[in-house]
Amino acid sequence: MTDFIPSFIREDLLKLSAYIPTPISDNQKQLTRLDANESPYNLPSELRIKLASFYEQEIETNRYPDGSHSVLKRLIVNYVNESINKEGLFNVNNISIGNGSDELIRSILMATCLNNQGSILVANPTFSMYKILAESLGINTISIERNEIDFSWDIDKANQAIRETNNPPIKVIFVVHPNSPTANCLNDSEIAWLKNLPSDILVVIDEAYYEFSKKTLAIELKNYPNWLVLRTFSKAFRLAAHRVGYAIASPAIINVLEKLRLPYNLPTFSQLAAQFAMENRQLILPAVEETIKEKERVFQELNKIKNLKIWRSDANFIYCRLKENGNYENHQNILNQLKEKNILIRHTGGGLRISIGTPEENDYLLSTIQSLFNQ
């Protein structure tokens, strides 16, 4: 059968590439999966047993989920206020919950730039979904390159892009704190620049890896009503399978995001899992320290490989590039050789991003990658 391209499909979509996750085959249990920045740890067994019991005791499958997310919002508010030592600073009107952060990013784009109302600005390399989602909505993306030494924003180029982009103007700037794939937090100069941006530009600060970096700009939201912070349950809280993300912002911004949110967007079981994780975070979050400890060990060992340039990380992954012959083909060759050994890492942004796994997974990665460079 010949491919049929219906004329009613938007022509610009035919030129786009879909986000394609690494396929997981039947032998996934034999894979060392260090490609998606997930936690390498499942929930503790006693928590999994309790969570599983919710399905029998708590869930009515014939009923829609709680479309208000009321219980989960209250728990998130308490957690966010606790994280910045400001009890009562935020309330449920400052929170919107999405089916993963991707849904929230899409709503942000729809609220600001749809119908040729605005462009977005990103600095590459960064999280690819900002551009993918923008292009899927027909929204213009302005991209600048990061400084090669430390992957900070080139502020002069960013300001130039803001000045010169008029049709349509830049309405949203996406920054990541710390950035993926390069794992660096925003520095003082970048934060000062964000504070001086015009108030008619929305600054989205993606803090997906906050629990690993221990650095947040959430407290600044009270001073900058044009800022929004994104966070997720997919990383430190070990709930990637449940797809729960949340936004923290002024009530005015949250009100618009709530208008765009699909009804009953978060399944009941996902809401219960996130609530349960919040209530039991004292049992879940200590694994973050284990990951940080392992990250330092992996960093030190990879740093001994002469042809690898390794950057310091504020997240749960490490970014590296070949010092010599660091082209696409050679980086891809390393990825493919590791894949032959059932090790998955990510080739992105002109380099390799390696998630931190369990000690055993990290040992296997290190021994394998060291053997590749010693051939």
What's 326's domain CATH number?
3.90.1150.10
Mean pLDDT, residues 175-199: 97
297, 353: one domain: yes
User: Does residue 241 have a pLDDT over 70?
Assistant: yes
Q: How far is CA 51 from each of CA 56, 72, 237, 288, rounded to the nearest angstrom?
A: 10, 15, 14, 21
235, 198: one domain: yes
119, 193: one domain: yes
268, 305: one domain: no
Q: How far is CA 299 from each of CA 287, 307, 309, 310, 313, rounded to the nearest angstrom?
A: 18, 14, 11, 7, 9
Please report which confidence band the pLDDT of residue 314 belongs to, taking 50, 70 and 90 as the band edges: very high
Q: In 3D, which of 73, 68, 55, 9 has the Cα closest to residue 231?
A: 73
The CB-based long-range contact list for 254-260 (8 Å cut-off, 24+ gap) reads: 254/93, 254/94, 254/95, 254/96, 255/93, 256/111, 257/96, 257/104, 257/107, 257/108, 257/111, 258/96, 260/107, 260/110, 260/111
In which residue are the tokens 């999405």 written? Answer: 98
Q: State the Cα–Cα distance between residues 228 and 321, nearest whole angstrom.
A: 32
Tell me what percent of the residues of the chain surpass a pLDDT of 90: 85
- Is 92 part of any domain? yes
Q: In 3D, which of 99, 101, 98, 79 has the Cα closest to residue 90?
A: 79
Please report which confidence band the pLDDT of residue 238 belongs to, taking 50, 70 and 90 as the band edges: very high
How does pLDDT run across 126-172, given as a tens digit for each residue?
999 999 999 999 999 999 999 999 999 999 999 999 999 999 999 99
Q: State the Cα–Cα distance between residues 247 and 234, nearest whole angstrom.
A: 14
- Is 11 part of any domain? no
Mean pLDDT, residues 27-39: 85
Domain count of the fold of the chain: 2
pLDDT attached to residue 27: 59
Per DSSP, the three-state class of 39 is coil
225, 344: one domain: no
Q: State the Cα–Cα distance between residues 355 and 33, nearest whole angstrom.
A: 8
Please report which confidence band the pLDDT of residue 367 belongs to, taking 50, 70 and 90 as the band edges: very high
Q: Name residue 11's amino acid.
A: E
How does pLDDT run across 74-103, given as a tens digit for each residue?
999 999 999 898 888 999 999 999 999 999
pLDDT attached to residue 25: 61
pLDDT attached to residue 1: 47
Mean pLDDT, residues 298-320: 96
In which residue are the tokens 């600060």 written? Answer: 205
214, 306: one domain: no
Residue 117: give the domain boundaries.
Answer: 59-280
In which residue are the tokens 């650095």 written? Answer: 215
Pinpoint the alpha helices (H) of the chain: 45-57, 70-83, 100-112, 129-136, 155-164, 188-195, 210-213, 251-260, 268-279, 281-284, 286-302, 328-340, 359-373
